[in-house]
């Protein structure tokens, strides 16, 4: 199959009105689901999966992938406007986007998110088409040691989230990692730190933990005060799409995010969260103003949103090409195809290329649809800040709890989320980083799993494990990025100190 065949096949499917009906329904559902705290792509897929069983496979694939695109865009809206990430990948959007919203720059934050999400998605489709064949060959060689190397990048991102107090940031990450590791040991399957509680023998639910640490904690903190949003961010209601000059600085980071998102998304075991983290980190390294990251940087939003959406295309490469699902949502996509009679594996697309065409059609059509209507949706959501703040906080808590319950229909998960929210509330109040803890929950588990299983696969030898060519290359690059990051951080601190000294001199 040459490079153009999948693209032409996908475009040909856009002539089918049924594909458009499915895509419009999927995109709208995705945007609404993404905007609901606690509902990510996986849960959204899970909720509609039974409907796809009655659809023709091509329509089903296009429908599901349009949901991914919708969720990828939709989750930025509550992240920016309410500080609530729809899923873990939106954590970094919260950090910068919500900060801008609080400063009355909601339009700028939403505009950059809109451009980044759609351009990232569109360009990544082209990258996907151009790179699917060679990347399939690379992804096929990724095993646990290589995934371990990838998660080392994640730890570098954790360090960048450590906020002002590095010790507290590292402690936050350690707390998140250890909580995430509770449950079954990946090698021996013995239970760890379950305290004899039956419900946590196989671990605490990641979604409940992360949503609790990030979303509920912020909502609990917000409940400390009673006021109306108009009083603090009246400019938000009149926000317009930002001018080119305003979002132009974010363009390089969008390019970075698109490339990183597509490649990282293609790696089994990675997905949109590491893609977003790595691209954020890379964009910070390349930025002329790295000190703004985490404090309302449009470059941060651009990198993160582009990477999240680009990873949708990247995830499809091993999923459809090799039958290796790279995320929870891709597991569900393969499950839907299995029900339709397809056998996941390297030969699936070779035997049924229409699945690849349908994937491209779904991604392309939903991107076009959002291009035409997405800003209107975001502007509509801006009106949310005119609502009674107290009512929104209470309903957001209720909605979050319903979303958490819906994941596994277990009330225990709701308790876990509330507990995590209480701890997160203290962390927020006393300078510990809930974002580092939340990322630790996800990274720690896969980091340990890939390290230990990888060692087992390599005769328990660190030398054999680390000297695998791809692993060694990734680790060297990660080490280089870490050193670069430390140098950049020192430079940034010096710049801040110099500015403070200048200000002092001006005062004197």
Q: Is 466 in the site for another protein (CB under 8 A)?
A: no
Smallest separation (angstroms) from another protein to the CB of 416: 10
Burial 387-407 (b: 16+ CB within 10 A, else e): eebeebbeebbebbbebbbeb
Smallest separation (angstroms) from another protein to the CB of 191: 8
Q: Is 221 in the site for another protein (CB under 8 A)?
A: yes
Task: Give the nearer residue to another protein in terms of CB position, either 191 or 340.
Answer: 191
Is the distance from CB of 337 to CB of 349 less than 8 angstroms? no
Dist. CA 488–CA 505, nearest whole Å: 25
Residue ranges in 379-398 that form contacts with another protein under rule CB under 8 A: 390-391, 393-395, 397-398
Smallest separation (angstroms) from another protein to the CB of 114: 26
User: Smallest Cα–Cα separation from 296: which of 101, 459, 91?
Assistant: 101
Is the distance from CB of 342 to CB of 60 less than 8 angstroms? no
Task: Give the nearer residue to another protein in terms of CB position, either 47 or 492.
Answer: 47
Give the range of 151-159, 181-189, 263-271, 483-491 binding another protein by CB under 8 A. 181-189
Is the distance from CB of 360 to CB of 382 less than 8 angstroms? no
Smallest separation (angstroms) from another protein to the CB of 303: 23
Q: Is 411 in the site for another protein (CB under 8 A)?
A: yes
Number of residues that bind another protein (CB under 8 A): 67
C-alpha distance from residue 290 to each of 74, 83, 102, 496 (Å): 27, 22, 20, 11
User: Smallest Cα–Cα separation from 118: which of 7, 232, 258?
Assistant: 258
Q: Is 208 in the site for another protein (CB under 8 A)?
A: no
Judged by CB under 8 A, which of 188, 198, 244, 372 binds another protein?
188
- Based on its alpha-carbon atoms, the radius of gyration of the chain, rounded to whole angstroms, reads 22
Is the distance from CB of 399 to CB of 405 less than 8 angstroms? no
Q: Is 451 in the site for another protein (CB under 8 A)?
A: yes
C-alpha distance from residue 298 to each of 13, 95, 121, 151, 450 (Å): 36, 11, 18, 25, 34
Q: Is 25 in the site for another protein (CB under 8 A)?
A: no
Q: Is 63 in the site for another protein (CB under 8 A)?
A: no
Give the range of 70-78, 216-224, 254-262, 490-498 binding another protein by CB under 8 A. 216-224
Task: Give the nearer residue to another protein in terms of CB position, either 117 or 219.
Answer: 219
SS3 451: helix
Judged by CB under 8 A, which of 18, 192, 246, 354 binds another protein?
192
Half-sphere exposure of 282 (CA within 13 A, CB side): 25
Smallest separation (angstroms) from another protein to the CB of 421: 7
Question: What residues pair up with 191 in beta bridges, in sequence order?
Answer: 184
Burial 82-105 (b: 16+ CB within 10 A, else e): bbbbbbbbbbbbbbbbbbbbbbeb
Smallest separation (angstroms) from another protein to the CB of 218: 8
Give the range of 72-80, 266-274, 302-310, 425-433 binding another protein by CB under 8 A. 425-433
Q: Is 224 in the site for another protein (CB under 8 A)?
A: yes
Largest CA distance in the chain: 77
Contacts to another protein by CB under 8 A: 47-48, 50, 163-165, 167-168, 170-171, 174-175, 177-178, 181, 185, 187-190, 192-193, 195, 216, 220-221, 223-227, 232, 390-391, 393-395, 397-399, 401-402, 405-406, 409, 411, 414-415, 418, 421-422, 425-432, 444, 448, 451-452, 455-456, 460, 462
């Amino acid at each position: 199959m040459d490079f153009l065949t999948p693209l032409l096949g996908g475009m040909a499917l856009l002539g089918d009105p049924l594909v458009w009906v499915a895509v419009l329904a999927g995109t709208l559902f995705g945007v609404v689901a993404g905007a609901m705290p606690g509902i990510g792509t996986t849960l959204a897929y899970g909720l509609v999966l039974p409907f796809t069983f009655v659809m023709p496979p091509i329509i089903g694939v296009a429908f599901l992938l349009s949901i991914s695109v919708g969720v990828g865009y939709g989750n930025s809206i509550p992240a920016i406007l309410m500080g609530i990430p729809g899923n873990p990948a939106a954590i970094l959007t919260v950090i910068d986007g919500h900060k801008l919203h609080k400063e009355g720059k909601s339009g700028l934050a939403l505009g950059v998110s809109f451009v980044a999400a759609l351009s990232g998605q569109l360009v990544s489709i082209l990258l996907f088409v151009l790179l699917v064949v060679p990347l399939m060959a690379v992804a096929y060689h990724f095993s646990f040691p290589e995934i371990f190397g990838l998660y080392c990048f994640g730890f570098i991102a954790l360090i960048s989230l450590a906020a002002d107090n590095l010790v507290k940031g590292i402690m936050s990450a350690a707390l998140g990692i250890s909580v995430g590791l509770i449950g079954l040991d990946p090698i021996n399957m013995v239970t760890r730190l379950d305290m004899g509680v039956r419900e946590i023998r196989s671990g605490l639910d990641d979604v409940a933990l992360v949503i609790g640490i990030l979303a509920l904690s912020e909502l609990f903190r917000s409940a400390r005060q009673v006021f109306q949003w108009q009083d603090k961010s009246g400019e938000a209601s009149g926000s317009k799409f930002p001018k080119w000059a305003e979002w132009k600085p974010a363009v390089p980071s969008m390019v970075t995010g698109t490339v990183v998102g597509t490649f990282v998304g293609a790696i089994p075991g990675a997905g949109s969260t590491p893609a977003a983290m790595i691209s954020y980190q890379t964009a910070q390294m390349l930025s002329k103003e790295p000190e703004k990251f985490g404090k309302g940087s449009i470059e941060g939003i651009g990198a993160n949103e582009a990477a999240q959406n680009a990873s949708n295309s990247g995830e499809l490469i091993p999923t459809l090409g090799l039958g290796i699902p790279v995320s929870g949502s891709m597991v569900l996509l393969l499950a839907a195809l299995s029900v339709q009679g397809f056998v996941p594996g390297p030969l699936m697309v070779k035997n049924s290329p229409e699945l690849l065409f349908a994937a491209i059609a779904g991604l392309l059509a939903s991107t076009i649809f959002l291009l035409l209507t997405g800003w209107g949706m975001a502007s509509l959501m801006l009106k949310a800040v005119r609502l009674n703040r107290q009512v929104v906080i209470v309903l957001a808590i209720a909605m979050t709890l319903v979303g958490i319950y819906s994941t596994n229909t277990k009330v225990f998960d709701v308790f876990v989320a509330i507990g995590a929210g209480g701890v997160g509330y203290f962390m927020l109040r006393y300078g510990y980083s809930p974002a580092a803890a939340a990322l630790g929950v996800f990274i720690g588990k896969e980091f340990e799993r890939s390290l230990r299983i990888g060692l087992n696969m390599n005769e328990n030898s660190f030398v054999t494990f680390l000297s695998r060519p791809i692993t060694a290359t990734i680790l060297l690059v990660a080490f280089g990025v870490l050193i670069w990051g430390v140098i950049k951080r020192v430079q940034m601190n010096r710049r801040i100190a110099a500015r403070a000294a200048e200000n002092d001199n001006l005062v004197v």
